[in-house]
Amino acid sequence: MEPWECGHLVDRPVREAAHPALGEQGEGGVGDEVGAAGRLAHDPIPAVLAAARPEDVLRHDVHHIAEPLPAYHHGRTALLGDAAHAMPPRLGQGGNQAIEDAVVLAHHCDDPAGYTAARLPRTTVIAHQAVKAARLSLMSSRAGIAVRDTAVAALSKAGPALFPHSFDGIADWAPRSGRMLPGRPRQATVGGDHPVKVGCIGLGDIAQKAYLPVLAFQPGVELHLQTRTPATLDRVAEGLHLPQERRHTTLDSLLTAGLDAAFVHAPTLVHPEIVTRLLEAGVPTYVDKPLAYELDDSARLVALAEERDVSLAVGFNRRFAPGYTQCADHPRELILMQKNRIGLPEEPRSMILDDFIHVVDTLRFLVPGEIDDVSVRARVRDGLLHHLVLQLAGDGFTALGVMNRLSGSAEEILEVSGQDTKRQVVNLAQVIDHKGQPTVRRRGDWVPVARQRGIEQAVLAFLDAVRAGEVLSARDALETHELCERVVRAVQERTA
């Protein structure tokens, strides 16, 4: 029982039977509910209720959609909010999810199927959580209530910092940002009920562990695989239940499928050849970093994409990782990123372009202004790079990128700080805010690793652009490659 506007009192019934959405209506009427509320409430509420006329007591039953709808669109009509996914109010997400619906639909006005694909999985999970929260709060068993209340009281005293984690994966949602995959609109090429034909080229560890779990289960995607190793092709395809006609051992065969998009996860050495073929065929292409080991090759690919008016995107997934995108909204006078390994010294160019490039791009993504000073320090022994430090500076900020290939720990730590405040992200999974006392937010148990690392969001943003016919530019990604080349040359000069 709580005060509300215009002098009203609002009671949320404590019996599940009072909610048709969660159980059948009980025998008691409104009067029984008012009487029960009066007996439980503090003064002066019992007296107010006793004086109320029956006609002044309003009852509004709460309903929810028990089984998820098969889609949130039909033709050109789209459903939002409670029309799409009505849920019990105990999680406080009805209005929030309606707002998210509106934001996503704004980017899918010409592609209702893409709106369904983006929203149905998330809202289904949240609606299920809302039902569980409602059942917990509306239980009628005295024993169950006692256990619940005791547990809540104990947690509130012993670990209040744990409560915000119940909203991990809910409250940390953010719309996809155009600054992450810069592009411009054109005529939509794929949409409606037509599947997007996607080719995955190269089936190494990254493709199998990070990208295929996202691509293989996306609604509206027809996945094709290509690798030159037949045994690997059949093993991976069998695991995904892909028919023979979607298995290819040559790029020529894959291109005959009529691709709408391609993901390139082949070794970096063959990126220039593969990406050139795809762009010349007019296929929007997503390339796992880097574009190429040599800057001239990377620049040529970007120029070819612009000449052919075809999308080209580079897999800088950390621009989409929830912990890192949150850092973009934090004061960033000082930025420090470490990405360390154990016992892995490597030849400078391959280490910088294959691994340190993530550090370089993340710093570029986070710096709050123009970079006007770049400095590099490194330790190289017997032609192998042991550790590397990059400093970027500009008006009011300094950014440091560190990689130690002979560290005692394989770790990735990002820190951004301003006056009397710091935010730290550990291994992309744990966010720690420091304002005197640290507040820790860990990855939810059910949050997929690909989502936590930003890979899922990067894939979906690219597919969104394909469906909408938006041409993505890799010009900004090329600037990261140019800075990496500058680092490579600085290391070479120090060891000459």
CATH code, domain carrying 240: 3.40.50.720
Contact by Cβ (8 Å): 251, 201: yes
Same domain, 360 and 265: no
Last residue of a domain, one of 252, 279, 314: 314
CATH of the domain at 415: 3.30.360.10
Same domain, 79 and 228: no
Same domain, 294 and 217: yes
Nearest to 148 by CA among 157, 160, 140, 136: 136
Same domain, 362 and 490: yes
pLDDT confidence tier of residue 111, bands split at 50, 70 and 90: confident
Alpha carbon distance 266, 254 (integer Å): 14
Burial of 148 (0-12, 13-18, 19+ CB in 10 A): middle
Same domain, 357 and 491: yes
In a domain, 62, yes or no: no
- Can you state the percent helix, strand and coil of the chain, rounding each to 5? 45, 20, 35
| pLDDT tops 60 at residue 181 | no
Same domain, 9 and 133: no
Last residue of a domain, one of 29, 56, 83: 56
| Residue ranges making up the domain that contains 38 | 2-56
CB neighbour list of residue 82: distance below 8 Å, 6 or more residues apart? 94, 98
In a domain, 297, yes or no: yes
Residue appearing with tokens 């039909």: 74
In a domain, 173, yes or no: no
CB neighbour list of residue 186: distance below 8 Å, 6 or more residues apart? 309, 469, 470, 471
Contact by Cβ (8 Å): 334, 416: yes
Same domain, 203 and 274: yes
CA 425 to the chain's CA centroid: 15
Mean pLDDT of the chain: 85
In a domain, 348, yes or no: yes
pLDDT confidence tier of residue 21, bands split at 50, 70 and 90: very low
Alpha carbon distance 32, 16 (integer Å): 14
Higher pLDDT, 453 or 37: 453
In a domain, 460, yes or no: no
The angle formed by the CA atoms of residues 67, 73 and 75, to the nearest 5 degrees, is 140
In a domain, 463, yes or no: no
The two tokens of residue 137 are 């709060």
Residue appearing with tokens 């040529």: 300
In a domain, 23, yes or no: yes
Burial of 289 (0-12, 13-18, 19+ CB in 10 A): buried
Strand partners, 399: 335, 392
| pLDDT tops 60 at residue 300 | yes
Average pLDDT estimate for 233-240: 96
Same domain, 193 and 306: yes
Q: Quick one: pLDDT at residue 175?
A: 65
| pLDDT tops 90 at residue 63 | no
With H, G, I as helix, E, B as strand and everything else as coil, classify residue 418.
Answer: strand
Total structural domains within the chain: 4
Same domain, 152 and 289: no
pLDDT confidence tier of residue 11, bands split at 50, 70 and 90: low
Same domain, 24 and 136: no
pLDDT tens by residue, 400-425: 999 999 999 999 999 999 999 999 99
Average pLDDT estimate for 57-83: 84
Same domain, 428 and 356: yes
In a domain, 286, yes or no: yes
CA 12 to the chain's CA centroid: 35
Last residue of a domain, one of 290, 314, 338: 314
Alpha-carbon torsion (86, 88, 91, 95), positive or negative: positive
Same domain, 296 and 383: no
